[in-house]
């Protein structure tokens, strides 16, 4: 059924198609998004929302300001390959693991994420400029194939470990590069085994979206992840049909 496409049920936005052009920016009633087939988040599509968790296992690209200042607490995008300027800026996640990320375009891609501690992107080719601008608690970056960019760690005071390639300039006077201690970050990074995935920490980040996956994947009989809701997804559809009928 397509009756519930684009509907918000119990603070959950339901998108069942591969593409969606509707922009939900500024919509504070959305806290969850169920979009199992969605491949691209358009520019400004979910900016300035109150989204806590999303289920988008097929997402491949996030456009300009796609999730800007959305306050997401958990992120699990296993197929995400490209992010644009401010794609994930201003969110509340602590651990970010993007196993298929290859391209970062524009600049300021993941900035002012004050809760972010660990970032991992094993396939990323190059960081865009100012990629982690003002991520004040970021301490570990694992991107062994990626080339560092100018001012990538601007105001990243807590940075301790970096596994990446190349050199860069910065003028924030606060990050390890400006303080002359960045070589120590690289040395710590070199001690990370090539195949290590920081599983224990990153697994915490996945719990929210895995919950969504478990509750929705088993056809339409899986329970909704909204806190306190015990009715099944099928029951939600029936309730919606009654309201629309």
Q: Please, what is the average pLDDT of the chain? A: 85
Number of domains in the chain: 1
Looking up tokens 């996030």 gives: 62
- The residue range of the domain holding 155 is 7-219
Does the residue 52 lie in any domain? yes
How does residue 238 score in pLDDT terms, banded at 50, 70 and 90?
A: low
Give mean pLDDT, residues 96-125. Answer: 97
Question: Is 230 among the domain residues?
Answer: no
Q: Is residue 234 part of a domain?
A: no
**What per-residue confidence (pLDDT) applies to 192?**
81
Q: Name the strand (E) or helix (H) holding 146.
A: strand 140-147
Residue 110 lies in a domain: yes
Instruction: Give the CATH number for residue 71.
Output: 3.80.10.10
- Tell whether 226 is covered by a domain: no
Q: Do the domain assignments include residue 86?
A: yes
Query: Tell me: the pLDDT tens digits for 184-233?
Result: 999 999 988 754 545 444 554 455 555 555 544 443 433 444 444 334 44
Q: Let me know if residue 244 belongs to a domain.
A: no
Question: pLDDT tens-digit profile of 25-66?
Answer: 999 999 999 999 999 999 999 999 999 999 999 999 999 999
Give domain status of residue 140, yes or no.
yes
Please tell me the distance from the alpha carbon of residue 25 to that of residue 105, in angstroms, as a whole number: 21
What sign does the dihedral 121-122-128-132 (CA atoms) show?
Answer: positive
Report the C-alpha gap between 160 and 116 in whole angstroms: 13
């Amino acid at each position: 059924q397509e009756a519930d496409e684009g509907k918000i049920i119990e603070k959950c936005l339901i998108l069942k198609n591969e593409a969606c052009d509707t922009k939900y920016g500024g919509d504070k009633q959305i806290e969850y998004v169920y979009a199992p087939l969605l491949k691209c988040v358009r520019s400004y599509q979910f900016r300035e929302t109150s989204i806590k968790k999303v289920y988008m296992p097929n997402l491949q690209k996030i456009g300009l300001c796609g999730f800007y200042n959305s306050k997401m607490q958990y992120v699990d995008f296993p197929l995400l390959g490209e992010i644009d300027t401010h794609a994930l800026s201003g969110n509340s996640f602590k651990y970010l693991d993007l196993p298929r990320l290859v391209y970062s375009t524009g600049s300021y891609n993941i900035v002012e994420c004050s809760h972010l501690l660990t970032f991992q992107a094993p396939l990323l080719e190059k960081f865009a400029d100012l990629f982690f601008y003002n991520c004040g608690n970021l301490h570990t970056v694992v991107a062994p194939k990626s080339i560092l960019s100018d001012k990538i760690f601007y105001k990243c005071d807590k940075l301790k470990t970096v596994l990446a390639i190349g050199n860069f300039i910065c003028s924030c006077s606060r990050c390890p590069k400006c303080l002359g201690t960045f070589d120590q970050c690289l040395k710590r990074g070199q001690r990370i085994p090539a195949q290590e995935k920081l599983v224990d920490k990153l697994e915490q980040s996945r719990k929210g979206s895995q919950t969504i996956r478990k509750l929705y994947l088993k056809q339409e009989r899986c329970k909704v992840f909204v806190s306190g809701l015990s009715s099944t997804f099928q029951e939600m559809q029936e309730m919606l049909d009654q309201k629309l009928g």
